[in-house]
Amino acid sequence: MADEAPFQFLHNELIQYISKSTENPETEHGRNITKLENMGFRVGQGLIERMTKDTARFKDELDVMKFICKDFWTCVFKKQIDNLRTNHQGIYVLQDNKFRLLSQLSAGKQYLELAPKYLAFTCGLVRGGLSNLGVKSIVTAEVSIMPASKDPDSHFRRKIQQSSMNSTAAEQSLATDHYHHALNPNCDPWPQMKSLQDSLPLSTVTS
Amino acid sequence: MADEAPFQFLHNELIQYISKSTENPETEHGRNITKLENMGFRVGQGLIERMTKDTARFKDELDVMKFICKDFWTCVFKKQIDNLRTNHQGIYVLQDNKFRLLSQLSAGKQYLELAPKYLAFTCGLVRGGLSNLGVKSIVTAEVSIMPASKDPDSHFRRKIQQSSMNSTAAEQSLATDHYHHALNPNCDPWPQMKSLQDSLPLSTVTS
């Protein structure tokens, strides 16, 4: 029996509830995303506080990110992040090839437009966790293909990338743009991040 | 690291969100309880469907209740129900001496009035689970003392009781009363159930 099932089902209910409780889901899409992100943020804060109460101090930011990829991710999703890359300048790309909160949606590109609301909570989760470890960050998500729960052979094509970076003055505009785009449902919420990731030289981190 | 923490934190956020999103929390208390109960119902349905897809058919209602007490409860709360009693006429009392969704509240009677909103989801959870196993039920909860997370020695005094019964015509009025009372925040939501439990001869079920 999958241990994360109660969390997964509750998460789905939450999304349904928030979507349905708004009078005009189309126009309030962005606001709902923000609500979910904020809830994730507080859950992330609480979780990391509980998880790190007996751990040693982290030696640097990369150490924090490794903790997020291993312990934190395992606590919530019962698996580790599959791949962590960084440009060693504050940008981290975390890749989960079989992201549990999306695995109940059909594979393929059919429901790709629904993905943002299934990712917002997790973005907040990571941001909240990092925040309580003293790392201010902007966390965004990207899905190329849905990680359906069956067909494990082809999981490599299915990925979620989350990148977190230190929030400096120069990057603040990105954050603003991100929310601006998130508020427009017809528009890709994270175009900057995509291009940013594509254009940056990222190296893979091995434990 | 506690496995159920993400679920617990998400559950707390959900309660906060529902409480805050209503304009008048005082008067809409009962409606919020119902919302939480309904969400629990759907989560329970989903969970039981996933958990029982490969199990043998249950031989009777008691068998179903045992499954709820052991597998279902363990899946959600990472522990079994501590005590199951029944009158063998369709009433079951499930007692959890250390109910996880309340253990983050302070011990004592100070926050006892907040308990209903922390119990509604779980009532729905059990009702949904039973419903998908073909048992129509009315599930109510009762707390005497908060099961605080510390002080494990005195856990015996702390209990939650949940009773589920077949919904027959005679009992339908109970259900109506139950919701009626739940809608009035100044009133004990489950007075009938309490007295019903106290007045009934219940025997303890051993595995």
pLDDT, one tens digit per residue, over A69-123 is 999 999 999 899 999 999 888 899 999 988 888 877 776 677 778 888 899 999 9
| Sheet strand arrangement including B83-86 | B137-143, B160-166, B92-96, B83-86, B203-204
Contacts with A42 from chain B: Cβ below 8 Å? 9, 13
User: Closest by alpha carbon to A96, among A78, A120, A114?
Assistant: A78
Q: Does ipTM top 0.90? A: no
pLDDT for res B90 = 85
| Tokens 């919020």 belong to residue | B32
* Cβ–Cβ below 8 Å for A42 and B71: no
What pTM, to 2 d.p., does this model score? Answer: 0.74
**A121 CA: distance to closest CA in chain B (Å):** 10
The count of structural domains within chain A is: 1
What chain A residue is nearest to B42 in terms of C-alpha separation?
A: A13
Q: Regarding beta strands B203-204 and B137-143, do their DSSP bridges make them parallel or antiparallel, or are they unpaired?
A: unpaired
Structural domain harbouring B78: 5-19+29-204
Task: Write the CATH number for B172.
Answer: 3.30.1380.20
Residues in chain B, pLDDT under 70: 1-2, 107-108, 145-201, 206-207
Cβ distance of A10 and B43 shorter than 8 Å:
yes
- Nearest chain A residue to B20, by CA: A35
**Which chain A residue lies closest to B5 (C-alpha atoms)?**
A47
Amino acid at B98: K
Q: Quick one: how far is CA B82 from the chain centroid? A: 14
User: Which is more confidently placed, A69 or A19?
Assistant: A69
B1 and A43 within 8 Å at the Cβ level: the answer is no
Determine the Cα–Cα distance for residues B12 and B6; give it in Å rounded to an integer.
Answer: 10
> Does residue B137 fall inside a structural domain?
yes
Tell me the pLDDT tens digit for each residue of B3-38: 778 899 999 999 988 888 877 777 888 888 999 999
B24 inside domain: no
What is the full DSSP assignment across B80-110? Answer: --SEEEE-SSS-EEEEETT-TTTTTSPSSST
Q: Which is nearest to A4 in space by CA: B205, B7, B31, B59?
A: B7
Residue in the structure block whose two tokens are 């349904």: A16
Give the whole-angstrom CA distance, residue B31 versus residue A26: 25
The larger pLDDT score, comparing residue A201 to residue A54, is at A54
